[in-house]
């Protein structure tokens, strides 16, 4: 997993509650990403970061926000969880442009 | 239409078979092509990384890119039960870092 840790690994939450997922990396990678993986859709980019406090939206960013106050941590927040956000969330990190992206083990989130 | 299309399978083959996995794409801006392997309940791990058209070989794995047809392939020779996983194609545009993924093909190699 190239030093990428996601927490929690599993979470069940209720509709309407805020949820924060954490991604921690130990390799000082500049770029970090949050993807969600759903059957029939594959992995889709939610948000990404190209440095501390520098973030941008991906393909499916509605209902999500991110923050990166330190190089090693990238947080994904579901502001008010909905059942459509039930998914497996993956964090990835990358050192330089056009190099390999390393993925974490995933967080399985269920919104009931 | 999705930018990257991949047959979801599932694909089941006997041990020792040659496996062919494929993706097509619609955007000619894609220049970097990857294959990831994902075991059940794990994160994707990079198998092959190629730039533009051509072939790249690594052990039992060969990645092939045909930009004129917007078609990429991954061949697995002498397939093993340990190759049983979901294989994801991914691609990236020049100047961008985010990846566009296929939906994945689930492969089972039967001993």
pLDDT digits (tens, 9 = 90+) for B62-75: 999 999 999 999 99
Provide the pLDDT for residue A2: 64
Contacting residues of B for A1, CB less than 8 Å apart: 43
Provide the pLDDT for residue A98: 65
CA atoms within 13 A on the CB side of B70: 11
Kindly identify which residue of chain B lies nearest to residue A5, measuring between CA atoms: B43
Binning pLDDT at 50, 70 and 90, where does residue B8 land?
A: confident
In which element (H, E) is residue B30 found? strand B30-38
The answer to whether the CB atoms of A103 and B45 lie below 8 A apart is yes
Residue A90: strand, helix, or coil: strand
The answer to whether the CB atoms of B97 and A94 lie below 8 A apart is yes
The answer to whether the CB atoms of B103 and A40 lie below 8 A apart is yes
Q: Which of B4, B88, B97 sits opposite A31 (nearest CB)?
A: B97
For B54-58, B82-86, B91-95, which range has the lowest pLDDT when averaged over its residues?
B91-95
Report CA dihedral (A9, B81, B7, B95) to the nearest 10 degrees: 60
Distance from A17 to chain B by nearest Cα, in Å?
A: 25
């Amino acid at each position: 997993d190239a030093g990428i840790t996601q927490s929690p690994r599993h979470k069940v939450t209720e509709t309407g509650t805020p949820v924060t997922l954490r991604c921690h990396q130990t390799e000082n990678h500049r770029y970090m990403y949050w993807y969600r993986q759903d059957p029939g859709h594959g992995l889709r980019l939610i948000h990404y970061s190209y440095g501390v406090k520098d973030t941008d939206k991906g393909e499916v960013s509605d209902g999500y926000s991110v923050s990166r106050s330190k190089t090693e941590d990238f947080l994904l927040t579901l502001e008010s969880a909905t059942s459509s956000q039930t998914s497996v969330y993956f964090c990835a990190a990358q050192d330089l442009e056009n190099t390999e992206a390393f993925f974490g083990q995933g967080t399985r989130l269920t919104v009931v | 239409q999705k930018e990257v299309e991949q047959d979801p399978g599932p694909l089941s083959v006997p041990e020792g078979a040659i496996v062919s996995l494929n993706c097509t794409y619609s955007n000619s801006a894609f220049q970097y092509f990857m294959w990831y392997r994902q075991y059940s309940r794990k994160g994707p791990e990079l198998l092959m990384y190629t730039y533009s058209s051509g072939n790249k070989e690594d052990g039992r794995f060969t990645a092939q890119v045909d930009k004129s047809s917007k078609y990429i392939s991954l061949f697995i020779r002498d397939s093993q039960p340990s190759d049983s996983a979901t294989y994801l194609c991914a691609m990236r545009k020049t100047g961008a870092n985010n990846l566009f993924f296929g939906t994945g093909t689930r492969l089972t190699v039967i001993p």
